[in-house]
Amino acid sequence: MIRQPIKSRWILPLGMLSVVVLLTAYTVLSHWQHGRNPDDTTIPTWRQLGDGVTKMWSPNARSGERWIVVDVRATALRLFLGLVCGVFGAIVLGLLMGCFAWIEALLAPPLSLLAKVPPTAALAVFFVLVGTGREMYVAMIAFGVLPTLAQSVYFSVRDVPAEMLFKARTLGASQVELIWNVILRTILPALLDAIRLQIGPAMVYLIAAEMVVGDVGFGYRIRLQSRLLNMNIVYPYLGILAAFGYLMDHALRQVQRLACPWYAEKEG
């Protein structure tokens, strides 16, 4: 039956089964590829992957720094700053557009247009305007996140029932209290879902920029090692990126569950 729920005891085993299937498929593919070419490095064995992880954590002969440490520090800081700027700006603009018709008329058309511009296609513009330092990565992520997220907030505000606003005004709520205590709290679950959906695109924008101009970070390291066909280093880096994105998504889910328990119960 469509949308028929399953018993909770099956959720974890089914999730683990899918992971086991993926790992088994990779193992079989790697074994088959090395049977054809023992020197192949495009699909490394688990032992080769272990060697790559060891190399990532080993101090560099020249600088003494560990690749993974410096890359995590650089990429995580850029991603955090870019998301903070983009999310904050999107919330402010989305709320203003949803609450005031004249701001909606002023900002809705340009935001709708900017949302269709791929940030990776505008890399040259960011290079010219803000250089190639940390500011460029932050600006690129914020530019990629803000228009789409602002539109999501705007649509969520428009969906707030008018009856709730009328009741709040009847009880003497001011404009600020309407926005903070009624509108923002009502759209908070949808807002957190929208932010979760922006994590993946934000990481894409950042990695693309690091691949082009970065001298440190995940994108830079992946580009450098892929040119050398050191896929036993590239794959662990991709795995860490996936785990990092998953942990951010999971953290936002927990925030949503704590801040909006009624929504979590409705979603089951």
Give a three-class secondary structure readout of the chain.
Answer: CCCCCCCHHHHHHHHHHHHHHHHHHHHHHHHHHHHHCCCCCCCCCHHHHHHHHHHHHCECCCCCCEHHHHHHHHHHHHHHHHHHHHHHHHHHHHHHHHHCHHHHHHHHHHHHHHCCCCHHHHHHHHHHHHCCCHHHHHHHHHHHHHHHHHHHHHHHHHCCCHHHHHHHHHCCCCHHHHHHHHHHHHHHHHHHHHHHHHHHHHHHHHHHHHHHHCCCCHHHHHHHHHHCCCHHHHHHHHHHHHHHHHHHHHHHHHHHHHHCHHHHHHHC
Fold of 77-267: MetI-like fold (1.10.3720)
* Boundaries of every domain in the chain: 77-267
Q: What is the pLDDT along the chain (268 residues), one digit of tens a residue?
A: 677 777 878 888 888 999 899 999 999 999 998 889 888 888 999 999 999 999 888 887 777 788 899 999 999 999 999 999 999 999 999 999 998 999 999 999 999 999 988 888 888 888 888 887 889 999 999 999 999 999 999 999 998 888 888 888 888 888 888 888 889 888 999 999 999 999 999 999 999 999 988 889 999 999 999 998 889 999 999 999 999 999 999 999 999 888 888 776 555 5
- Position 213 scores a pLDDT of 87
Token duo for residue 72: 């995590």
What local confidence, expressed as pLDDT, does residue 150 receive?
A: 95
Q: Which two tokens stand for residue 102?
A: 């004249």
Residues 44 and 232: beta-carbon distance below 8 Å: yes
User: What pLDDT does 10 receive?
Assistant: 82
By C-alpha distance, which of 134, 143, 67, 77 is closest to 110? 143
